[in-house]
Amino acid sequence: MGALKFALQVLLVLASLLLVLLVLLHKGRGGGLSDMFGGGISSSAGSSGVAERNLNRITIGSALVWTVIIIVLGLIETRWPDI
């Protein structure tokens, strides 16, 4: 069980980094930090609608993977805390 827990922790770190990267790739909607860093200037030069929808789907999928890993790690920790 220790190897499984370690593998899930490594996957959690990788999924977290991927999720942060995917969220940062999204186009800013205005009025927030994206405007402060120049996101409002390139509003017409953003990605197409199809690319944005695909990015949304990939982001949601990786968020679901991240959530499942968190839940499984929590269950392992509560059922077998000594491992």
Name the residue with higher pLDDT: 23 or 83.
23
What was the pLDDT predicted at 49? 83
Give 68-82 pLDDT, tens digit per residue.
999 999 999 999 887
What was the pLDDT predicted at 1? 74
Cα(33)–Cα(23) distance, integer angstroms: 13
What was the pLDDT predicted at 52? 87
CA distances to 3, 7, 64, 69 from 75, rounded to whole Å, are: 15, 15, 17, 10
Name the residue with higher pLDDT: 31 or 16.
16
Give 26-68 pLDDT, tens digit per residue.
877 665 555 556 655 555 555 568 888 899 999 999 999 999 9
